[in-house]
Structure formats: structure tokens, C-alpha cells
Amino acid sequence: MAVLRVLSGDETGRVVTLAEERTILGRHPNCQVVLDNAAVSRHHAQILQSHGTFYLEDLRSRNGTFLNGQPLDSRALLNDGDQIRVCDIVVGFQLRDDFPPSSLVLRTDTLTDPDPNSTRETLIRSTAPGTSISDPLMTSDIEEFDTKHVVADSFDDDLSSIIAKVDSSRMASDAIRLGPNSDVKLKAILEISQALRRELELDAVLPKILAVLFGIFPQADEGFILLRDAQTEKMRVKATRARGGNSTDEVAVSMTVVRQVIDSGEALLSRDVLDDSRFKKSTSLPQFKIRAMMCVPLMDARQEAIGVIQIDTRSSDPGFTEEDLDLLVAVASQAGMALENARLHEAVLKQREIERDLEFATQVQLGFLPKERPKVPGYAFADYYEAAMSVGGDYFDYIALPDGRLAIALGDVAGKGMPAALLMARLYASTRFELFTSDDPGEALSRLNKDITGSGIGHRFVTFVVMILEPATGKVVVVNAGHIPPQLRRANGKVEPVAKEESGLPLGIMPEQEYHAVTVQLNPGDTLLAITDGITEAMNDKRQIYGRE
């Protein structure tokens, strides 16, 4: 096992296990190792693991990464005892586990349980608002699930046959009435808690809930679970069960009962459906010979109903009692938590998949950026790049031309995220092609504009500037396509914009736009600076935008 131990800094003594193939160190909260220091880049460095071998790589951080006191220029092999320095934080790399287990700090992105009295930690806590249940449920709100057919009835709203109502939110925490078989029922509650706690797949949770319920209630003949679809807002039959362990082909759904349970959040018990005149209009209940039923809401973490569980029997002797209803409410409370965990688990898996894709895209995008700065006698080059999101649309490149000139290109794709990054990748290849095939940078930019305009990638534009340096003479040819003008700072401190008036429209707007070059002379001590709007739109410690002044 490999670990990192913080040797100096605010968290001296902290130990992090390197359990993943990729561990990112940086200031951003999504890093595996978060270093809370303003001098640290958001994604500063990374440790890669391959078949038990570990490598350290700098992620183009602004202050650099040091390995055993030496600046890191490329990916380096990590050995036991190596020291990594990120700004003023020193971290030791160890390949052995020779420290007390109590000192381990395992990063699992845990969040404290919302209960202030609880010491439990969970992987994630839901913060999304619950589904509204204010709209009445209609028969059309029931959708077919797989091959199961739903027969829906609509009855009078007066539920005179329902002889018991229980507030499910209260019963989830209050004592449960238990009869002579209390030990059996308590054991069943423990069993369902353990069984559901182990299930994280939603499709596996629902049938298991019904299977356990049929073990608790031997008089039950049929049961089903309805859940509200988060996207369509319609109730769907998600699981059914009949006595004998098989799924039933048809389930009788009383929309009056379902609507009442969902809207009120109360559990309902009817001991004898057929003896009640209010159910005489029903055609499905007599057809399915239902005599007694229990229907309870499934509540989410915000105590809002997300579905129902219904258990019914074809015999009124023995039917269901109030103790049975209390027990079903307790089970439904456990089931609601299991469903919440399953949904959160699915959300975590999807988020991890997205993050993996973004990590891959980030690595691909960084691969388009220069690995090193040009080495030209008499000139010094500096650059800094950091995406506002995991991936972005800012682009720069150093391009050594065949005739000895050096092109410095800088662009900013409108927008952020993956679409901007994809256009940036295209811009990288097209820019090199046009500059290699044309001696005139203005003509090269005009052709590049036609390529971007006709690319069919949507209504996106690119502000762009290219500077062609002739090292022997110090002349720089500048062509601007709607970008922030480069700033030329003379040795005497005077600053002047370059190609401000001669700037054309950004790339991708007008296919026939022509671009014109401006030539400036660099003298010893002069500096030519090109930036994107990420600099001008940055804020100081008072949250004031720097601007262009």
C-alpha cells in the first residue's frame, strides 16, 4: 500500500491512502487531496498508479511542483521516501504501512449525516428538493411496467371502508403496536433492515421489499409497489408479487386509495372491501376477489411521498390488523431509506462516470497545449493556463515555422465545458495547417475563419490572435480576430495596444471576413503580452473585476 504523509504545512501529520489509479493534488474541492493554500493551483499535480508503480506529474501549475527539491519538468517515477513539495507544503511518499492505523485519513468524500446527534457518515447526502405531490393523480398517471398490466379504478373520495389511518411520518419514529407474534415481527424488521441495507441497485431493492413483506404477512395474496417517475411525474408499477413467489400479471390499483395515501402521507387499512357500499362501483376489486388491503406511502428523506406499497388478501379471516398496519409502516420507512440510498447510489455512479469522462477530456485537452516553451536566443517566453471548468475553450500554441519564424497563437472559444473544448481541439489542428501552408498570416487567418464558419459545429465563435516572430530582426507580425489586443510594454515602461484598430471579427461569424496584419518592432527590454478574458474578468480580494485598465 502507498500513502502520502503531510510533513509540513497546515495539516502536518495527515495521511492519505493512494487507492486510486489517479490522485490529484490541488486547491479545488474535487481533488482527491485538497491543499487549502491560495498559492496552490486548482489542479496542481497528480500521482498516477500503474501495476503498483507510482508516477508524479505537474499539471501546468503556476508555481510548479518539486520532487526531492528539484523542479518537475515531466512525469517522474516515485520511490519510497521521496518528498513532494507543492508551494510551502511538503508531502512524503511511502510504499509501506509502518504507522498506526488510527492515523490513517482515508478520503472518501464523506458528508456528515444531517442528524446533528448522529456520528454516522455516508457517501452522499441528498440536497435535491422532493417531488411535489400536490397535483391529483389520474388514471393516466399509471403507466405499464414491463409486461405487467394495470387495471385502474376510480372511486368516490369518501373512504368510509377505510377503518384505520396512520401518520406514516409519526409511526416511523414512534413505538409500534405488536401482538402475540411480536418477536417474529421484530425479527422480520431487523431482517428487512439488513437485507435492504446491502442492496444498492433499485431494481433489486423493490422485489426484495415485497419478498420480505410476504414473509412477514402470510395472509397476503398480492402486493405491488408504485413509484413516481422523476422525469414524467407519473406513477409507475415498479414491482409486483403474488403468493407463491411469482410476479403477478395484473394488479388492481384503486386510484382513490393511492391518491389519498400520496396526498395525505397517511397509511390506510381496509379490513373488508366488499362489505362497503362505497366500493360497489369497483369492477376490478371484485374481479380480483380482494377482501382486505393495506396501503402505505413511501417517503423520501424530505418526508415527501414518492410512491406506495400495497398488500392485499382475498380472505377477510385472517385479514389485516392495526398492528399489521403499524408494522407495514415501519417496513415502508426502511424501504424508503433503501430506495433513497439506491437512487443516490445510481446518481453517484453516473456522476463518477461523468467525472471519468471529464478527467479523460482534461488529459486530452492538456495534450494539445505546448509541453515546453521555445528556446530562442535573445528571447524569453512565459505562459500560464488554467481552465475555468474541468475542460475549457482557451487555447495557445507555439508553432515553429519551416523558415525559422515562430508563431504564437492564442484563442478563446465562446462558452465553457466540453463543446468549447471540442472546438478548441479542431482549432489546434486547423491553425497549424493554415500557418504551415501560407506565408501570409492574414491570409492564413482568413482561411481558418472559413474553416470554422463552415464546420457545422453550431453558433460558436472564437476570438483569436496570432503573432509571428522573426528572431533575427525582432519584428513581430500580429493578426487579430476580435481578441483582446496584445499589449506591448516598452523598456521605458510605456504600454501600447497592438492591432486594436486593425482587428477583424472573431472567427466563425462571417465566412468572407478578411484579416490584415500589423508589424511591430521588439527592442531589447520590450515585452509583448497576450491574454484571454479570464485575466480581465478575474476578481481581487474585494470581488472587484480587474478589467483591462
d(CA 468, CA 385): 21
In CATH, what number is assigned to the domain containing residue 385? 3.60.40.10
pLDDT (tens digit per residue) in 322-373: 888 988 888 888 888 877 777 788 888 888 887 777 777 777 777 778 889 9
pLDDT (tens digit per residue) in 517-541: 999 999 999 999 998 877 776 677 7
d(CA 355, CA 42): 16
Is residue 217 over pLDDT 90?
A: no
pLDDT, position 287: 64
**Contact between residue 510 and residue 448 where contact means Cβ atoms under 8 Å apart:** no
d(CA 147, CA 242): 15
Query: Is residue 314 located within the same domain as residue 459?
Result: no
- Which domain does 13 fall in, by range? 3-107
d(CA 319, CA 294): 10
- Mean residue pLDDT of the chain comes to 76
Query: Is residue 340 located within the same domain as residue 238?
Result: yes
Q: Which of 327, 150, 161, 317 is nearest to 236 (CA)?
A: 150
Query: Is residue 94 located within the same domain as residue 192?
Result: no
Is residue 86 over pLDDT 90?
A: yes
Helices (H), 454-522: none
Mean pLDDT of 152-171: 45
Query: Is residue 280 located within the same domain as residue 376?
Result: no
Number of domains in the chain: 3
Neighbour-count burial of 49, counting CB atoms closer than 10 A to its CB (0-12 exposed, 13-18 middle, 19+ buried) = middle
Neighbour-count burial of 534, counting CB atoms closer than 10 A to its CB (0-12 exposed, 13-18 middle, 19+ buried) = middle
Angle (CA) 291-295-297 rounded to 5° is 175
Query: Is residue 397 located within the same domain as residue 430?
Result: yes
Residues in the chain: 549
pLDDT, position 183: 64
Q: Is there a domain that residue 113 lies in?
A: no
475 by DSSP, 3-state: which?
strand
Which of 107, 123, 150 corresponds to the end of one domain?
107
In CATH, what number is assigned to the domain containing residue 323? 3.30.450.40
Is residue 218 over pLDDT 90?
A: no
d(CA 252, CA 226): 12
Cell of 137: 393523480
Q: Is there a domain that residue 284 lies in?
A: yes
Q: Is there a domain that residue 319 lies in?
A: yes
Specify the higher pLDDT residue, 110 or 516.
516
3-state secondary structure 277-341: HHHCCCCHHHHCCCCEEEEEEEECCCCCEEEEEEEEECCCCCCCCHHHHHHHHHHHHHHHHHHHH
**Contact between residue 164 and residue 268 where contact means Cβ atoms under 8 Å apart:** yes
pLDDT, position 133: 27
Q: Is there a domain that residue 499 lies in?
A: yes
Angle (CA) 186-189-195 rounded to 5° is 140
Query: Is residue 277 located within the same domain as residue 380?
Result: no
pLDDT (tens digit per residue) in 266-307: 898 888 777 756 556 655 556 667 788 899 999 887 788 889
Angle (CA) 236-237-243 rounded to 5° is 170
Query: Is residue 179 located within the same domain as residue 282?
Result: yes
Neighbour-count burial of 203, counting CB atoms closer than 10 A to its CB (0-12 exposed, 13-18 middle, 19+ buried) = exposed
20, 54, 290, 528 from 50: Cα distances, Å: 10, 6, 62, 42
Lowest mean pLDDT across 99-108, 287-296, 421-430? 99-108
Is residue 223 over pLDDT 50?
A: yes
Lowest mean pLDDT across 107-121, 188-202, 353-367? 107-121
Q: Is there a domain that residue 134 lies in?
A: no
Query: Is residue 195 located within the same domain as residue 264?
Result: yes
Query: Is residue 171 located within the same domain as residue 308?
Result: yes
Q: Is there a domain that residue 127 lies in?
A: no
Instruction: Look up cell 464523506; give the residue.
Output: 110
d(CA 110, CA 121): 6
Q: Which of 227, 303, 313, 308 is nearest to 261 (CA)?
A: 308
Cell of 77: 517515477
Query: Is residue 383 located within the same domain as residue 474?
Result: yes
In CATH, what number is assigned to the domain containing residue 66? 2.60.200.20
Q: Is there a domain that residue 114 lies in?
A: no
pLDDT (tens digit per residue) in 4-37: 998 987 778 888 888 888 899 988 877 888 888 8
Q: Is there a domain that residue 177 lies in?
A: yes
Instruction: Look up cell 482568413; give the residue.
Output: 446
Specify the higher pLDDT residue, 456 or 397.
397
pLDDT (tens digit per residue) in 471-497: 999 999 999 999 999 999 999 999 999
Cell of 534: 479570464
Query: Is residue 39 located within the same domain as residue 146?
Result: no
pLDDT, position 389: 57
Which of 83, 107, 131 corresponds to the end of one domain?
107
Query: Is residue 310 located within the same domain as residue 199?
Result: yes
Specify the higher pLDDT residue, 53 or 413.
53
Query: Is this prediction's pTM over 0.85?
Result: no
